[in-house]
């Protein structure tokens, strides 16, 4: 059975990730990674990993998070990494690309007028990038619906 690693920050990113990925649990092994350990209670019975939370304001945390993600990906060996962001999800996406793993970025539904800053970076490195707003679909960014649709 193919394995998915689903990654996000806590909060809205996490809720969106769960709404998108939970249905995939019927066909795939899904492991989860989030920035807060309390999110493990929302995916009981599934493998859960914690990643350090950070943003562009504390960028010194990026390299340790990237190295940890690479180690985890080599151990876990998922077929694909799916993330709804934010910065920690982007770092896992980069780690997956470095490990030769397929990647999917799903930009947050909160980004109504333009892709998020992380989404604009993800657009350059992810295998697939999705927006949840039809007006934001463009070359390399696909609209297939949103979590409320």
Report the alpha-carbon distance of residue 41 to residue 81 in Å, rounded: 21
Write the pLDDT tens digit of every residue in 80-129. Answer: 999 999 999 999 999 999 999 999 999 999 999 999 999 999 999 999 99
DSSP code of residue 87: H
Mean pLDDT within 10-30: 97
Q: Please give the model's pTM, rounded to 2 decimal places.
A: 0.95
Which strands sit side by side in the sheet containing 80-85, from one edge to the other?
48-50, 29-34, 3-8, 80-85, 102-106, 128-131, 142-143
Chain center to CA of 88: 8
Which residue, chain included where needed, has tokens 């990925």?
A: 21
Flag whether pLDDT at 149 surpasses 90: no
DSSP string, 16-73: HHHHHHGGGGGTSEEEEEESSGGGGGGGTTS-EEE-----GGGGGGHHHHHHHHHHHH
Give 36-70 pLDDT, tens digit per residue: 999 999 999 999 999 999 988 998 999 999 999 99
**Average pLDDT of the chain?**
96
Q: For the domain that residue 48 is a member of, what is the CATH number?
A: 3.40.50.2000
Assigned domain for 117 exists = yes
Predicted confidence band at 19 (pLDDT cuts at 50, 70, 90)? very high
**45 in a domain, yes or no?**
yes
The mean per-residue pLDDT over the stretch 18-46 comes to 97
> Strand 29-34 relative to strand 3-8: parallel, antiparallel, unpaired?
parallel
**Structural domain contains residue 149:** no
How many Å apart are CA 59 and CA 101, to the nearest integer? 24
Q: What 3-state class would DSSP assign to 101?
A: coil
Q: What DSSP designation does 134 have?
A: G
Count up the domains in the chain and report the number. Answer: 1
148 in a structural domain:
no
Domain extent at residue 39: 3-143
């Amino acid at each position: 059975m193919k394995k998915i690693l689903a990654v996000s920050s806590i909060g809205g990113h996490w809720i969106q990730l769960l709404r998108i990925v939970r249905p995939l649990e019927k066909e795939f092994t899904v492991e989860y990674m989030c920035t807060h350990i309390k999110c493990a209670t929302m995916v009981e019975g599934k493998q859960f990993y914690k990643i350090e939370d950070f943003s562009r304001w504390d960028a010194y945390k990026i390299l340790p998070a990237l190295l940890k993600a690479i180690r985890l990906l080599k151990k876990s060996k998922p077929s694909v990494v799916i993330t709804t962001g934010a910065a920690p999800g982007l770092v896992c996406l980069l780690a997956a690309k470095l490990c030769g793993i397929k990647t999917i970025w799903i930009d947050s539904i909160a980004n109504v007028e333009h892709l998020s800053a992380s989404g604009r970076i993800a657009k350059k490195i992810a295998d697939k990038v999705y927006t949840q707003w039809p007006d934001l679909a463009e070359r390399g960014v696909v609209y297939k619906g949103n979590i409320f649709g």
